[in-house]
């Protein structure tokens, strides 16, 4: 395992955490956790407030992934929690020929995915990946696994280990101190599991996860 920020070139936006925390009700969080139209393209209180493609987000990140994992036209990669497939679309453009697949629990996201990658995506569950053992060179999951309960995350990590040949990278909601924990609790909309950074590391080790990881901290 390695703690490494492969998302360092992903554009950072200024977040008003306090305002978000005041706006979000239990009903908003319950609606967001359905991961339907309200979450992706509904009111901002329920999620993204409109989830559309913009090359400025993933285009700068793909070269980092490519260098770290040695991705080429002969490589294969799975994105768990792919949403509308924006990352995979940019990867398709920047690494021509690479074999890609995406999985997401949201039927809405897959149905409204980027047209160019929609045939590569499918609705599915991270806890029971619909792929054969060692199907992909690399498996990536960004800000997805924390939407599960702890025991479910263990199952999802074991599934990642099962379907990958050599590498993986995940990011999860985390905090390093009490202030970051307060901000995370105010910001959180869908996560069921949030832990301190050191707790996550122990958790990964006990679950048998051997890949790379980093944190989302608002």
pLDDT 10s digits, 92-101: 999 999 999 9
What would the mean pLDDT of 172-194 be, rounded to a whole number? 93
- Determine which helix (DSSP H) or strand (DSSP E) holds 214, and give its type and residue range: strand 212-216
pLDDT surpasses 90 at 124? yes
Nearest in space to 106 (alpha carbons), one of 39, 43, 36, 31: 36
pLDDT value for 21: 58
Q: Determine the Cα–Cα distance for residues 86 and 190; give it in Å rounded to an integer.
A: 20
Q: In terms of pLDDT, which residue wins out, 48 or 158?
A: 158
CB 86 within 8 A of CB 52: no
* Inter-CA distances, 91 with 25, 94, 100, Å: 36, 5, 9
Query: Contact 163/133 with Cβ under 8 angstroms?
Result: yes
Given this model, what pLDDT does residue 218 score?
Answer: 84
Place of tokens 């569950």: 125
Predicted local distance difference test score (pLDDT) of residue 17: 64
Contacts of 115 (CB under 8 A, 6+ apart): none
pLDDT value of residue 47? 87
Cβ neighbours of residue 2 closer than 8 Å, sequence gap 6 or more: 212, 213
Summarised one tens digit per residue, pLDDT across range 48-63 is 999 999 999 999 999 9
Residue 206 has pLDDT above 70, yes or no: yes
- For the chain, how many helices (H) and strands (E)? 10, 8
Contacts of 216 (CB under 8 A, 6+ apart): 143, 171, 172, 173, 174
**CATH code linked to domain 2-216:** 3.40.50.150
Does residue 14 surpass a pLDDT of 80?
Answer: no
Q: What pLDDT sits at residue 186?
A: 85
User: Higher-confidence residue: 24 or 25?
Assistant: 25
pLDDT band for 68, please (50, 70, 90 cuts).
very high
Task: Calculate helix-pair angle for 86-94, 62-69, nearest 10 degrees.
Answer: 70
| pLDDT beyond 70 at 16 | no
Of the pLDDT bands very low, low, confident and very high (cuts 50, 70, 90), residue 187 is confident
Where residue 123 falls among pLDDT bands split at 50, 70, 90? very high
Please give the structure tokens belonging to residue 134.
């060692």
pTM of the model: 0.94
């Amino acid at each position: 395992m390695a703690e490494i920020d492969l998302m360092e070139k992903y554009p950072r936006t200024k977040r008003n955490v306090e305002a978000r925390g005041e706006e979000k009700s239990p009903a908003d969080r319950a609606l967001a956790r359905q991961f339907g139209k309200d979450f992706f393209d509904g009111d901002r209180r329920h999620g993204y407030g409109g989830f559309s493609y913009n090359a400025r987000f993933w285009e700068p990140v793909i070269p980092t992934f490519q260098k770290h994992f040695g991705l080429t036209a002969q490589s294969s990669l799975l994105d768990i929690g792919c949403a509308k497939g924006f990352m995979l679309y940019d990867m398709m453009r920047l690494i021509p020929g690479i074999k890609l697949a995406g999985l997401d629990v949201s039927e809405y996201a897959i149905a409204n995915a980027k047209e160019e990658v929609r045939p590569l995506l499918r609705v599915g569950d991270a806890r029971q990946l619909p792929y054969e053992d060692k199907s992909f060179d690399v498996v990536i999951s960004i800000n997805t696994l924390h939407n599960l309960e702890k025991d479910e995350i263990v199952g999802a990590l074991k599934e990642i280990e099962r379907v990958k040949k050599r590498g993986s990278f995940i990011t999860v909601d985390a905090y390093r101190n009490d202030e970051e924990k307060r901000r995370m609790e105010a910001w959180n909309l869908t996560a069921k599991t949030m832990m301190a950074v050191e707790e996550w590391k122990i958790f990964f080790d006990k679950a048998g996860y051997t890949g790379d990881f980093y944190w989302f901290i608002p």
